[in-house]
Amino acid sequence: MSSPDSTAPSHFISAIIEQDLSEGRVKQVVTRFPPEPNGYLHVGHAKSICLNFGLAEQYGGVCNLRFDDTNPAKEDQEYIDAIQEDVRWLGFQWHGEVRYASSYFQQFYEWAIHLIKTGKAYVCDLSAEEASSYRGWATEPGKDSPFRNRSIEENLALFEKMKNGEFDEGACVLRAKIDMSSPNMNLRDPILYRIRKMPHHQTGDTWCIYPSYDFAHGQEDAIEGVTHSICTLEFADHRPLYEWFIENLPVPAKPRQYEFGRLNLNYTVTSKRKLKKLVDDGVVSGWNDPRMPTIAGMRRRGYSPQGIRHFCNSLAVAKTDGVVDVAQLEFFIREDLNDNAPRAMCVLNPLRIVISNFAEDSVEQLIAHNHPSKPELGDRTIPFTKTLYIDKADFSEDTTLSKKQFQRLVIGDYVRLRGAYVIRADEVIKTSGGEITEVICTLVEGTVGANPPEGIKARGVIHWVSATYGKRATVRLYDRLFTHEAPDRGEDDFMQFVNPHSLEMLGNCWIEPSLADAKNEQCFQFEREGYFVADRYDHNATQPVFNKTIGLRDSKAK
């Protein structure tokens, strides 16, 4: 495995593992990451991936990637492919081949027969509604199904017919015979097998009965020799059932389940079902839309694998659920980009500048460092020409603005163009409607890399791009996808909190020439504007497209 992080977090699960190893209960740690291929992975899954792969790596063990593909109705090959790509992109490599729960279906079937033969499972004909009324409530014991005492022979014959497709969907199920009055609802004769007359993406038409999550998961772990089966807290109540199967079946190993609190982020939904709705309803352009909290979306937004891993490793692995501020994720992304992203210039809202004392067809190649503190990132040349663009927001005609209030270009005053000359704004050209089209300026000779003469003081430093050699680009700016801090934790439908202004497209931005050659997915700091990434799919040298990853500082901080 290849995660380069050396800072291994310690928490209650690592403590358990250390004890298991030191007391000899476990020889080699085996973990697994077990997604159901019914959607793309999201930032919550990233936490689980970093935990499972991270622990295996930390303790010299291995981690499997296993698709928990027991429900063909919602699963798809597209998700299987995307999940593998995302795990690898995060920097992890699973042990051996990818595993599939579906490759153990024959074994599960035989174990179901084992339970029937030992009097611990039965075929039940109650309808779904009847079964639920028989189940009782948390405070009220359930009632035994009238089919609970069928003979072993009858159950074997009926289960065989289920498997052979002789019953309709919903006609009957196979249930474990445990305890209808258990205070734990999961032990009230849970379902082991359902009839689903539906082909499966891996097993085709081989099966028309499919095991439940509960009947599959622990046995999958046992088959793979998983030592520490780590899942989220909502499965804590399922643990007695997990253990019941392990105790009552001739499984090859005895895995143990441990639960930790899932990652919830404010202003974010982390449920594949809800994310799928955003995709299906066209609220976003797809699972990899840069506004999505999916791994594919964060990737396209310009988040780096190490930034995401550092965030995940900063999270508590605790026995309670909590909500993490999305600013914490952004902190790690920004920190990583600040360290690694080369600097460049891009004008988002161009205003034309004409330098009156620079020759029309002349060009001066200026040298700029790509990173202020990393000389190894090299230098680049930036062409300086008579006509330039600066940002509209960097110019004002209001001469009453103090130097402190407005550290940019004001008519009659001086500003430094980043890495180039100090210039003075002399005259504003306007349309008949009063819109500024151009500002005529004069440059101060000898000010590249040098202070201006006595008596001249630049108000500040602004970025610019040559209008002659710069390239036009499209830049996409993003805001939060949801306006509500907890979009899916109240009574209201989360869809009503979708931010209608989460995407802004700027089609007339100007980038310095070297940026047109940016590779897809390459990240930059656009000076004074923030961090941007060349879009993974849409960017090319003739039509450059950049996505804003994040601002230079946390603009929403209280």
Q: Which of 88, 196, 262, 484 binds ligand ATP (CB under 6 A)?
A: 262
In the complex with Mg ion, the residue whose CB is nearer, 295 or 388, is 295
272 is catalytic: yes
In the complex with ligand ATP, the residue whose CB is nearer, 123 or 226, is 226
In the complex with Mg ion, the residue whose CB is nearer, 36 or 125, is 36
Fill in the per-residue mask, 15 to 54: x = in contact with ligand ATP (CB under 6 A), - = not in contact: -------------------xxx-------xx-xx------
Indicate which of Mg ion, ligand ATP, none lies near residue 45 (CB less than 5 to 8 Å, by partner kind).
Answer: ligand ATP
Smallest separation, CB 68 to ligand ATP (Å): 6
Fill in the per-residue mask, 433 to 472: x = in contact with ligand ATP (CB under 6 A), - = not in contact: ----------------------------------------
The span from the CA of 460 to the CA of 391, in Å, is 14
In the complex with ligand ATP, the residue whose CB is nearer, 114 or 276, is 276
Q: In Å, what is the CA distance from 287 to each residue of 39, 85, 182, 474?
A: 8, 14, 41, 21
The interface with ligand ATP within residues 269-328 (CB under 6 A) comprises: 270-272
Residue nearest to ligand ATP (CB): 44
Q: What is the torsional sign of CA 150, 156, 157, 160?
A: positive
The span from the CA of 528 to the CA of 548, in Å, is 13
Indicate which of ligand ATP, Mg ion, none lies near residue 418 (CB less than 5 to 8 Å, by partner kind).
Answer: none
Smallest separation, CB 49 to ligand ATP (Å): 8
The interface with ligand ATP within residues 190-249 (CB under 6 A) comprises: 231-232
The span from the CA of 446 to the CA of 332, in Å, is 41
Q: Of 186, 187, 169, 191, nearest to 178 (Cα)?
A: 187
Span near ligand ATP by CB under 6 A; candidates 18-26, 262-270, 354-362, 541-549: 262-270
Q: In Å, what is the CA distance from 402 to each residue of 221, 410, 417?
A: 69, 10, 19
Can you list the positions of beta strands (E) in 48-100? 62-67, 99-100
Q: Find the catalytic residue in 36, 85, 154, 243.
A: 36
Q: Find the catalytic residue in 88, 196, 262, 277.
A: 262
In the complex with ligand ATP, the residue whose CB is nearer, 107 or 232, is 232
Contacts of 515 (CB under 8 A, 6+ apart): 344, 346, 471, 473, 524, 534, 544, 546
In the complex with ligand ATP, the residue whose CB is nearer, 36 or 154, is 36
Instruction: Report DSSP state, residue 338.
Output: H
Binding of ligand ATP by 266 (CB under 6 A): no
Span near Mg ion by CB under 5 A; candidates 29-37, 171-179, 236-244, 506-514: 29-37
Instruction: Locate 339 and state its tokens.
Output: 């360290």
The span from the CA of 549 to the CA of 532, in Å, is 5
| Secondary structure string (H, E, C) spanning 239-290 | HHHHHHHHHHCCCCCCCEEEEECCEEECCCCCCHHHHHHHHHCCCCCCCCCC
Side-chain-side CA neighbours of 22 within 13 Å: the count stands at 6
Q: How far apart are the first and last CA of the chain?
A: 40
Give one word for 387, left, alpha or beta, with left for phi > 0 and alpha for psi -120 to 50.
beta
Indicate which of ligand ATP, Mg ion, none lies near residue 194 (CB less than 5 to 8 Å, by partner kind).
Answer: none
The interface with Mg ion within residues 35-54 (CB under 5 A) comprises: 36
Residue nearest to Mg ion (CB): 36
Binding of ligand ATP by 66 (CB under 6 A): no
120 is catalytic: no
| DSSP secondary structure letters along 147-204 | TTT--HHHHHHHHHHHHTT-S-TTS-EEEE-S-TT-SSGGGSS-EEEEE----BTTTB
Side-chain-side CA neighbours of 549 within 13 Å: the count stands at 34
Q: Find the catalytic residue in 272, 299, 300, 548.
A: 272
In the complex with Mg ion, the residue whose CB is nearer, 36 or 488, is 36
The span from the CA of 226 to the CA of 195, in Å, is 29
Instruction: Locate 20 and state its tokens.
Output: 């298991």
Span near Mg ion by CB under 5 A; candidates 28-36, 257-265, 468-476, 504-512: 28-36
Residue numbers at the binding site for Mg ion (CB under 5 A): 36
Residue numbers at the binding site for ligand ATP (CB under 6 A): 34-36, 44-45, 47-48, 68, 231-232, 262-263, 270-272
Catalytic residues: 36, 262, 272
